[in-house]
Amino acid sequence: MSNTPKVSLILIGPPGSGKGTQATRICERFGIPWISTGDILRAAVKAGTALGVQVQTLLSAGALVGDDMMIDLVRERLGRTDTAAGFVLDGFPRTLVQAAALDGLVAAVPPHALVLEVPEAELERRLTARRICTKCKTLSTSRSLYGSEAELCSKCGSILITRDDDNVLTIRHRLENYRTQTAPLVAHYQARGTLSIVDGMRAPDDVTTTIFKLIDSRRNGCATP
């Protein structure tokens, strides 16, 4: 068995803070799975499963899925063999109830929490400009928020659309949820000495470099991010 410390991370940040971009890069470098609860739930909606039917209304309104449902989902996912070397959790935990449940699930190797900080005005600007490819699901930024001309994905050439939950009213509701329910997680992980805050306003490459340095520093010191 390898003595290399696991790379187990929790990415915390409001919608539009860049968690998806950074999660992809971390997972590619360290060969660990990206566990995005949002993607898992949207896949359930698309497949028309019983879970998906329950989730559809919540996602469209920008509301949060209940703690019990999310805890069960993550418990099953962390039990798979591909998490042996670590994982990146994106979208979980969102509440202190979920954080307490996760503490119990990974008590032997506590994950490190990385907080991406971005001002709310910038988050709203980013999210209203965000587009998703209808085919490959790549996220892009619209060249114009007001133009009616269709934009195409730079990766596969398919049409870009606005995600249902990227309208202004829903965005503001999601940010309010973050402030009232998820922001307290910062204190939770800070008290445990397993938290780092990263400036999400910098260029994505600079954010990635900072995160990699934090991970490598903790691994070299035999701590487990």
By annotation, the residues acting in catalysis are 19, 94, 130, 163, 174
Residue 116, token pair as written in the block: 């991406």
Element (H, E) at 115: strand 112-117
Q: Which residues contact 191 (CB under 8 A, 6 or more apart)?
A: none
Sort strands 112-117 and 7-12 into parallel, antiparallel or unpaired.
parallel
> The tokens of 225 are what?
């991010």
d(CA 121, CA 171): 11
> Residue 211 and residue 197: Cα distance in Å, rounded?
10
Distance of CA 221 to the CA centre of its chain: 26
The runs of H, that is alpha helices, within 134-181 are: 168-177
Q: Which residue has the tokens 């019983």?
A: 50
Q: Which two tokens stand for residue 43?
A: 């896949």
What's the longest Cα–Cα distance across the chain? 56
Nearest 5 degrees, angle CA 215-CA 217-CA 223?
A: 80
